[in-house]
A and B are shown apart, each in its own frame.
Chain A
Amino acid sequence: MAGPHDASSTTTPSTTYANETGGLILHADVLVIGGGPAGTWAALSAARSGAKVVLADKGYCGTSGATAPSNTGAWYLPAGAARDAEVDRRLEKSAGLADRRWIIRTMEEALRGLDELGDDGYPFPFDEDGRPYRANLRGPDYMNHQRRRVRRAGVTILDHHPALELLWADGVVAGAAGVELRSGERWQVRAGAVVIAAGGCTFLSRALGCDGNTGDSYLLAAEAGAVFSGMEFSAQYGLSAAHATITKGLTFTFASFYLEDGSPLPSEGGDRSTRIARAMIAGHKVYALMNKGEAHEHDWLVRGQPNCFLPFERIGLDPFKERFPVTLRSEGTVRGTGGLDVTGDDCATNVPGLYVAGDAASREKLVGAISGGGSPNASWAIASGVWSGRGAAQFAQRQAGVLGDPLSTRLHTRAVHALGGAGLRPNKTAAGSGFTRELIAAVQDETLPLDVNFFRTGKRIALARAQLDGIWAAARDHLGGTGRELVRAREAASMAATARLVWASAQARDESRGLHRRVDRDGSDPAQTHYIRSRGTDELRVSTAPAPEAVRDLAEEALVS
């Protein structure tokens, strides 16, 4: 089959996509989309495998994404009792959807990566015994360091180059195209393979560092027929001071929580986020006061997480003495768990030539139905980056081999066509930036509110699906523009496409499990201990796939019989 898997995504070219044939054209073996942790590890790995690599970032590789402004733990666990205990703990919390083999191989690869980082000059702090402590990464420093390593490896970095669509040639992914923000010119990178490492989608919730995460790479992958998994596990919310963006869990280590009348937040009824969400839906304001712990422990927070205190210092509030209102910001599929389905140990997807790393991929294999925030996601970014970069490099080398000598000439002169539809090539006239903003607000109404998404009901899911069908039709007809407006239009389309995958998947899970909290379904149904897979742009298709345990049970049955 020569076309993409999802025939519904093929579009009629129009003239609204500025400079359709002009602009920058680069050739590479591997194109990496996204310059956060996963993208930088992928670029390094691909370069190390002998590939010529281009890395395109929507923002700036070094400050983009959820990790750069944050501070994250990572799995630094050599084989032994501590690692075994963490594997068991993870499996237990995963509601039956994590996979022991993937947890262990991720831990092993992350350990190698963290050691490499230390050996390569990243200044890990030392513990009391004078040994480097490698289970924590300070975001700004880590990403600054990664950018330097990527440049040293000879990778071409394109900053402020959002990728908007994939290029396709004879049944394989052949690169990507987008717009350079500063000039408004179209760019394209013709490549033998593409790694998507552009993070998840938070629907512009202002969660720390995540506003670039508008699901752009989900849509471009969906247009090529890519399969997603676990998109229903997208109801993770991060706690922050109400006026601010700092959704860092560690900030609240020493906090107690109160309602507006000074009474304590109810201690019964689920984890902290669940109790806060319930109180907020009931119309309460929720307050925090950092009145636990010792002064020297507070100092670790002040010195270790300086941006946690910016929101207070800059309004003249002492959070250890004065209470302050808090809010929950959606972390969507960034610290939720769904994403592109990983089909092989090399982080391939089901689309030939398309690989995935980091938060763009489903992390169900590591954490199952719960959040991957913190160490799992940080470790996965390293491991999946290394694997996908190598996998993509090998795919590109095989492609070059199939096409014959001289290797890259055929690869780069083959005829390609662009797959992008919604937001880039409207069916009717483009309606302008006001329409784009309205459409984004409409998508947010179906994705951000706590009483829509944090707590879910069958009825509201059905309503969200109906609303989003209408939004999608309008997006198809009228989203478009030039330059920055084109990028915004495509972001709006991507958020709509992401939301549709989320709710189609959620509707197929008729139970509560992990982050998928159905208030009209009590608990989990053992018969639904499976993955929910989704695909498509116009027509969505949803199916189930067996969980790892079920696969193992089947294998054992086969052995017995």
Chain B
Amino acid sequence: MIELISADRCIECNLCVKTCPRDVFDAVPNAIPVIARKEDCQTCFMCELYCPVDALFVAPHAEEDVQVDEEHLSESELLGSYVRNMGWRKGKAGGTERDPTRLLRIRNANAG
């Protein structure tokens, strides 16, 4: 579930509020958004993709809260790791033209 909105990185664009399919965030006037309904988070990582400044961290745990340490996440380059692996940039789609998944599908089809 969503565990972190980095106050250092967040630019208050509220794209996470807009794009979260489960409406987990609330916008706050003149401040960064808040995680208002964490229990509704479906751990789909979509908010990380749409965040233009890698300010969000979704822990993979679907059903339990986890403590996270922003400094550690930042140093170990886990903030924004999904965005970079996908090839998206600043909330804009990209990288699907290099997606090698077809090779996997062809392999699996040949394996029967």
Interface of A toward B, CB cutoff 8 Å:
58-60, 62-65, 68-69, 71, 73, 122-127, 133, 135-136, 138, 140-142, 144-145, 159-160, 181-182, 206, 208-212, 241, 243-246, 250, 253, 297, 299-307, 309-311, 313-315
Contact of B102 among A63, A69, A136, A160 (CB under 8 A): A136
Task: List the 4 closest A-B pairs by CB distance, nearest first.
Answer: A59-B21, A306-B85, A304-B101, A311-B60
A318 CA to B75 CA, complexed, in Å: 19
Q: How far is the CB of B39 from chain A (nearest CB, A)?
A: 10
Residues of A within 8 A of B19 (CB): 60, 62-63
A246 CA to B102 CA, complexed, in Å: 19
Interface hub of B42, B61, B81, B82 (most chain A Cβ within 10 A): B42
A71 CA to B64 CA, complexed, in Å: 26
Residues of B within 8 A of A300 (CB): 100-101, 103-104, 107
Residues of A within 8 A of B69 (CB): none
Q: CB distance A314 to B59 under 8 Å?
A: yes
Contact of A68 among B46, B95, B98 (CB under 8 A): B46
Residues of B within 8 A of A123 (CB): 96-97
Q: How far is the CB of A463 from chain B (nearest CB, A)?
A: 26
Q: CB distance A210 to B101 under 8 Å?
A: no
Tell me whether A253 and B104 are in contact in the complex, defined as CB-CB below 8 angstroms, given that A212-B22, A304-B99, A311-B60 are known contacts: yes
Residues of B within 8 A of A126 (CB): 97
A135 CA to B99 CA, complexed, in Å: 12
Q: Which residue of B lies closest to A128 (CB)?
A: B103
Q: CB distance B99 to A136 under 8 Å?
A: yes
A266 CA to B13 CA, complexed, in Å: 52
Q: How far is the CB of A271 from chain B (nearest CB, A)?
A: 14
Q: Which residue of B lies closest to A207 (CB)?
A: B42
Q: How far is the CB of A145 from chain B (nearest CB, A)?
A: 7
Q: How far is the CB of B45 from chain A (nearest CB, A)?
A: 6
A159 CA to B14 CA, complexed, in Å: 15
Residues of A within 8 A of B18 (CB): 60, 159
A250 CA to B99 CA, complexed, in Å: 14
Q: Could you show 30 A-B contacts with beta carbons less than 8 Å apart?
A: A59-B23, A60-B20, A60-B21, A63-B21, A63-B44, A68-B44, A69-B44, A69-B46, A71-B99, A122-B96, A138-B96, A138-B99, A140-B86, A140-B93, A141-B96, A144-B93, A182-B23, A209-B44, A211-B40, A243-B62, A244-B62, A245-B42, A245-B43, A297-B104, A304-B103, A306-B85, A307-B45, A307-B82, A310-B81, A315-B60
Q: How far is the CB of A162 from chain B (nearest CB, A)?
A: 9
Q: CB distance B61 to A243 under 8 Å?
A: yes
Q: How far is the CB of B3 from chain A (nearest CB, A)?
A: 10
Task: List 20 additional A-B contacts (Cβ < 8 Å) besides A63-B44, A243-B61.
Answer: A59-B20, A123-B96, A126-B97, A135-B105, A136-B101, A136-B102, A138-B96, A138-B101, A142-B96, A145-B93, A212-B21, A243-B60, A244-B60, A250-B105, A299-B100, A306-B86, A307-B45, A310-B58, A313-B81, A314-B78
Interface of B toward A, CB cutoff 8 Å:
18-23, 40, 42-46, 49-50, 58-64, 78, 81-82, 85-86, 88, 93-105, 107-108
Tell me whether A245 and B23 are in contact in the complex, defined as CB-CB below 8 angstroms, given that A123-B97, A304-B99, A306-B82 are known contacts: no
Interface hub of B19, B22, B62, B94 (most chain A Cβ within 10 A): B62
Q: How far is the CB of A243 from chain B (nearest CB, A)?
A: 5
The binding surface of chain A is classed by DSSP as loop
Residues of B within 8 A of A69 (CB): 44-46
A300 CA to B105 CA, complexed, in Å: 10
Residues of A within 8 A of B21 (CB): 58-60, 63-65, 68, 209, 212
A136 CA to B98 CA, complexed, in Å: 12
Q: CB distance A245 to B102 under 8 Å?
A: no
A305 CA to B95 CA, complexed, in Å: 12
Q: How far is the CB of B58 from chain A (nearest CB, A)?
A: 8
A307 CA to B83 CA, complexed, in Å: 10
Q: CB distance A250 to B104 under 8 Å?
A: yes
Residues of A within 8 A of B81 (CB): 310, 313
Contact of B98 among A125, A182, A206 (CB under 8 A): A125
Q: How far is the CB of B110 from chain A (nearest CB, A)?
A: 12
Q: CB distance B78 to A313 under 8 Å?
A: yes
Q: CB distance A63 to B96 under 8 Å?
A: no
Q: How far is the CB of A143 from chain B (nearest CB, A)?
A: 9
Q: Which residue of A lies closest to B104 (CB)?
A: A300
Q: CB distance B99 to A125 under 8 Å?
A: yes
A211 CA to B22 CA, complexed, in Å: 8
Residues of A within 8 A of B100 (CB): 125, 299-300, 303-304
Interface hub of B86, B88, B104, B108 (most chain A Cβ within 10 A): B104
Q: How far is the CB of A79 from chain B (nearest CB, A)?
A: 19
Residues of B within 8 A of A206 (CB): 42-43, 62-63
A256 CA to B7 CA, complexed, in Å: 42
Q: How far is the CB of A67 from chain B (nearest CB, A)?
A: 11
Q: CB distance A71 to B43 under 8 Å?
A: no
Q: CB distance B104 to A135 under 8 Å?
A: no
Contact of B60 among A159, A303, A310 (CB under 8 A): A310
A136 CA to B82 CA, complexed, in Å: 20
Q: CB distance A209 to B42 under 8 Å?
A: yes
Interface hub of A69, A126, A141, A159 (most chain B Cβ within 10 A): A141
Tell me whether A305 and B101 are in contact in the complex, defined as CB-CB below 8 angstroms, given that A144-B93, A206-B42, A297-B107 are known contacts: yes
Residues of B within 8 A of A310 (CB): 45, 58, 60, 81-82
Q: How far is the CB of A411 from chain B (nearest CB, A)?
A: 32
Q: How far is the CB of B14 from chain A (nearest CB, A)?
A: 12
Interface hub of A125, A127, A314 (most chain B Cβ within 10 A): A314
Q: CB distance B104 to A304 under 8 Å?
A: yes
Tell me whether A314 and B63 are in contact in the complex, defined as CB-CB below 8 angstroms, given that A68-B44, A123-B97 are known contacts: no
A245 CA to B58 CA, complexed, in Å: 12
Residues of A within 8 A of B108 (CB): 250, 253
